[in-house]
Amino acid sequence: MGKIWRVSGPLVIADAMKGSHVYEIVEIGEEGLVGEIVGLEGNKAIIQAHEDTLGLKVGEVVRGTGRILSAELGPGLVGSIYDGLQKSLLTMGENIGPFMKRGAKASALPRDKKWQFTPEVKVGDAVSQGDIIGVVPETNLIEHRIMVPVGIKGTIKEIRQGDYTVEEPVAWIEHDSEVKELTLMQRWPVRKPRPYKQRFDPSGLLTTGMRILDYMFPLALGGKASIPGGFGTGKTVALQQLARWAQTHLNIYVGCGERGNEMSDVLTSFRELKDPNTGRLLQEKEIFIANTSNMPVVAREASIFVGITMAEYFRDMGYDILLVADSTSRWAEAMREMSGRLEEMPGEEGFPSYMGSRLSSFYERAGMVACLGNPERKGSITVAGAVSPPGADFSEPVTQNTLRIIDALYALDVSLANKRHFPAINWLTSYSLYVDAVRDWWNEHDPGWEDTRAKALRVLQQEAELEEIVRLVGPEALPEGDKLLLLIARMIREDFLQQSAYNEADTYCTPAKAGLMLKTIMKSYELAQEMLNSGAGIEGIRSSPMVYRISRMKDIPNEVFEQRVKELWSEMEQSLVTGKRVP
């Protein structure tokens, strides 16, 4: 037990702390504010406080807990809302009210709720770390698999079926005459990656329902992506769309320094929207961490690592997990503030020199792995993080350090946002290194994907090359072929890449629908070229009713799209080739 010696914002220095260790959790002052030791100098401990230090006095007590910052893992996580330190906001709302108090405590997992545990091993079976010993039906979409904690092995001496709380023992394992109790809950240090057997390259498509991601710049399961963009470009909406519609088993949304109203919008919508494949509420496959901008700054770093620790836990069950973080820039700003208080040597733009390694320690915990234990299983974590560069300057340190780590970039463009083109992902500067990783998936579901995608990107590139000429002499001075190319490029941009998050039919687009949409546009390009070669004019093609019909494809529901597009193709060939107008 020590005493406060100095307070400087989120930095607290305590004296008489001999015997403490780095990253130990401490309770500061009479209210027991949560802090974390980040350095030791003799008998003094340097503490970063995860709560507001306003009103703390020199001489107040600092108590060491002897443990490091860890996440509680077990049934009850799915559908819950946590702050940056994994305190349940739902529990605090019920017990304290709508306004949080400093030093308030709330368990991450409910202690009084009983869960139905069904064993999958029997007495006498030999088990080791990572083995699944039973299951708990947590939600209608998630079967919670109870695993032997890391570092424990032996023989099942006793195992029980029934309803238990997360603290009640359900099994006993004997090893070298020592018996250990297993409960439904386990703890894991948030800054320590969970172990696995083997790591694989990302593979398979992470279906997001966003056409520009799924078809043009795909993200593979187990991949790492970044969505940088200036103010108003739609980073939050893009990440919300990912968390809503990504076809993974579980999605984790980390609001790191987000506005409170945006976080409220996320929580409200997830209680109403339904998963397109199962018809169940999205809340049954989501975990929320709400560390909003008015919450303690330093807790932003903890919120990111709490989120990735929970993702690893469910990955070890054999699930595919998506974690979205909005935004890592605000986390980096918290690091910069703490680094300044510690009087460390600043790096570029005042950020600490270790910012790159901290970002790497987060993003590199993504990936596809062979999980520990039996039965054999594979799981994956896909990470997508938003970056908020000041003034949309992608040369600033957070963006540049992130680009060194990630393999998929979805660059948001201010000019596109100003034109109300959403998602405002610039197709000329964005890229994905997962094209080869998803090729087998696309060849199985859409054999013509690679060729169609390449043709569309080529058209968009050629449009960009023609823009300078158009600005100088105007579009009417171009040859007919170039005029047609500009028309098709506009159709790709407005009728395919542009997508409304608030349109019921357009908010989620299946890969099959996306493929047929782009093939329809490229088919119209081929037919229109034939018309030009036969002497038709560009005005006749522009005025064709098929151009309008193609522009309304996005409003056709996924369920009936294939049938409707077959009819469209038939009418398109008649209208564009024969010149016959079909009503």
Give per-residue pLDDT as tens, 89-148: 988 888 887 777 788 888 999 999 999 999 999 999 999 999 999 999 999 999 999 999
- Check residue 214 and report its DSSP letter: I
Q: Categorize the per-residue pLDDT at 576 as very low, low, confident or very high, splitting at 50, 70 and 90.
A: low
The total number of residues written for the chain in this structure: 583
Does 580 have pLDDT greater than 70?
no
Provide the CATH topology of domain 196-435: Rossmann fold (3.40.50)
Q: Could you tell me the two tokens for 282?
A: 């999205």
Element at 68 (helix H, strand E) = strand 61-68
**Range 417-433 average pLDDT:** 96
**Range 337-364 average pLDDT:** 92
**What's the rounded Cα separation, in Å, for the pair 24 and 26?**
6
**What's the rounded Cα separation, in Å, for the pair 47 and 324?**
29
pTM of the model: 0.93
Distances (CA, A) of 534 to 480, 486, 527: 12, 20, 11
Q: Categorize the per-residue pLDDT at 292 as very low, low, confident or very high, splitting at 50, 70 and 90.
A: confident
Q: Delimit the domains of the chain by residue range.
A: 2-69, 115-184, 196-435, 446-577
**What's the rounded Cα separation, in Å, for the pair 85 and 25?**
11
Question: Do you find a cis peptide bond into 375, omega within 30 degrees of 0?
Answer: yes
Residue 403's pLDDT is what? 96
Phi, then psi, of 189 in degrees rounded to 5? -60, 130
Q: Categorize the per-residue pLDDT at 418 as very low, low, confident or very high, splitting at 50, 70 and 90.
A: very high
Among 155-159, 235-239, 320-324, 538-542, the range scoring the smallest mean pLDDT is 538-542
For domain 115-184, is the CATH number 3.30.230.10?
no
DSSP code per residue over 19-58: T--TTEEEEETTTTEEEEEEEEETTEEEEEESS--TT--T
Q: Categorize the per-residue pLDDT at 578 as very low, low, confident or very high, splitting at 50, 70 and 90.
A: low
Residue 329's pLDDT is what? 93
Q: Which of 345, 346, 361 is nearest to 401 (CA)?
A: 361
Residue 410's pLDDT is what? 97
Provide the CATH topology of domain 446-577: 1.10.1140
Q: Categorize the per-residue pLDDT at 581 as very low, low, confident or very high, splitting at 50, 70 and 90.
A: very low
**Range 322-329 average pLDDT:** 93
Mean pLDDT of the chain: 92
**What's the rounded Cα separation, in Å, for the pair 256 and 266?**
13
Query: With pLDDT > 90 as the criterion, what percentage of the chain qualifies?
Result: 74
Query: Residues 146, 117: contact at Cβ < 8 Å?
Result: yes
Residue 125: alpha-carbon gap to chain centroid: 38
Contact residues for 549 (Cβ-Cβ < 8 A; gap 6+): 568, 571, 572
CATH number of the domain located at residue range(s) 2-69 in this protein = 2.40.30.20
Residue 414's pLDDT is what? 95
Q: Categorize the per-residue pLDDT at 579 as very low, low, confident or very high, splitting at 50, 70 and 90.
A: low
Does 261 have pLDDT greater than 90?
no
**What's the rounded Cα separation, in Å, for the pair 416 and 233?**
8
Give per-residue pLDDT as tens, 440-471: 999 999 999 999 999 999 999 999 999 988 88
DSSP code per residue over 369-427: EEPSSSS--EEEEEEEEEE--GGG-TTSHHHHHHHTT-SEE--B-HHHHHTT-SS-B-T
Q: Which of 161, 83, 152 is nearest to 115 (CA)?
A: 161
- Check residue 12 and report its DSSP letter: E
**Range 264-272 average pLDDT:** 87
Does 359 have pLDDT greater than 60?
yes
Query: Residues 169, 156: contact at Cβ < 8 Å?
Result: no
Phi, then psi, of 217 in degrees rounded to 5? -130, 75
Query: With pLDDT > 70 as the criterion, what percentage of the chain qualifies?
Result: 98
**What's the rounded Cα separation, in Å, for the pair 153 and 130?**
9
Does 516 have pLDDT greater than 50?
yes
Angle between helices 480-491 and 511-533 (to 10 degrees): 170
For the chain, first and last CA: distance in Å?
83
Q: Categorize the per-residue pLDDT at 577 as very low, low, confident or very high, splitting at 50, 70 and 90.
A: low
Strand locations in 198-341 (E): 198-200, 224-228, 250-258, 286-292, 320-326
